[in-house]
Amino acid sequence: MKLYVNPMSPNSRKALLAAHDLGIPVEAQVVDLVKGETKTPAYLKMNPNGMVPTLDDDGFVLWESNAIMQYMASTKPGNALLPDEPKARADVLRWQSWELAHWDPACGTLIWENMLKQAFGAGAADPVAVKAGEEKFHRFARILDARLAGREWVVGAAPTLADYSLASYLMYAQPAKMPLDSYSNIKRWLGNVEKREAWKATQPRMPA
């Protein structure tokens, strides 16, 4: 399988986490977003969104990080990351859907305002946007924190794709100043994810 990724991208990391945990050898092709490598005609032919990640499995091209994760897991029947039991599987899909619909945008505003904006020379953080981002973050962090009360993992008793999807944006919790202080369950759970070999193996080297 060939995986077009950028190691700094949380969505790319989701696909890499799944591949690593499942023991699927992937040929990672690094795509430079700043140089516009996701906007070339050849890349857009594969992924018209001009985004990473994109998977190419012997001509089968797939984009959307969570779909890629599920596809990878389904090539390894019986694995714990995507349980076979219908209710557990639906629960994984529920949290991966919530992650894309609510959690990513909540984290994303703070990543842009507090971290990327300056790095891309787009000016200082806008206090109004930061405040709105923090409110959005709190709205959804409360839900995830409540879910994790008394639980080690988001679904069932073992890590699943849902944990990796939900944790990926938190790789930037610190530089993006995500207000995690009052969410003790999220912090404990994130500590569990960070201990996984797959998390360590996919940790990018952060620029200063």
**Contacts of residue 42, Cβ cutoff 8 Å, sequence gap at least 6:** none
**Contacts of residue 94, Cβ cutoff 8 Å, sequence gap at least 6:** none
* Residue 70 interacting with ligand GSH (CB under 6 A): no
* Residue 33 interacting with ligand GSH (CB under 6 A): yes
Binders of ligand GSH: how many residues, by CB under 6 A? Answer: 12
Residue closer to ligand GSH, measured from CB, 74 or 182: 74
| Element of type H or E holding 133 | helix 127-148
Considering the complex, what minimum distance in angstroms separates the CB of residue 52 from ligand GSH?
4
Binding span for ligand GSH by CB under 6 A among 51-59, 72-80, 130-138, 182-190: 51-59
Site string for ligand GSH, 89-118 (x = CB under 6 A): -----------x------------------
* Residue 65 interacting with ligand GSH (CB under 6 A): yes
**Contacts of residue 171, Cβ cutoff 8 Å, sequence gap at least 6:** 10, 13, 203, 204
Residue closer to ligand GSH, measured from CB, 97 or 118: 97
The token pair at 52 is 């990473």
* Residue 52 interacting with ligand GSH (CB under 6 A): yes
* Residue 50 interacting with ligand GSH (CB under 6 A): yes
What is the rounded CA–CA span in Å between residue 201 and residue 176?
22
- Torsion on CA atoms 73, 68, 53, 189, rounded to nearest 10: -60
Residue closer to ligand GSH, measured from CB, 65 or 202: 65
- Torsion on CA atoms 132, 171, 51, 108, rounded to nearest 10: 0
Identify any residues that bridge with 2 across adjacent strands, giving them in sequence order.
27, 56
Considering the complex, what minimum distance in angstroms separates the CB of residue 178 from ligand GSH?
16
* Residue 161 interacting with ligand GSH (CB under 6 A): no
Give yes or no for a contact between 17 and 44, defined as CB atoms under 8 angstroms apart. Answer: no
Residue closer to ligand GSH, measured from CB, 101 or 158: 101
Which residues of the chain form contacts with ligand GSH (CB under 6 A)?
9-11, 33, 38, 50-53, 64-65, 100
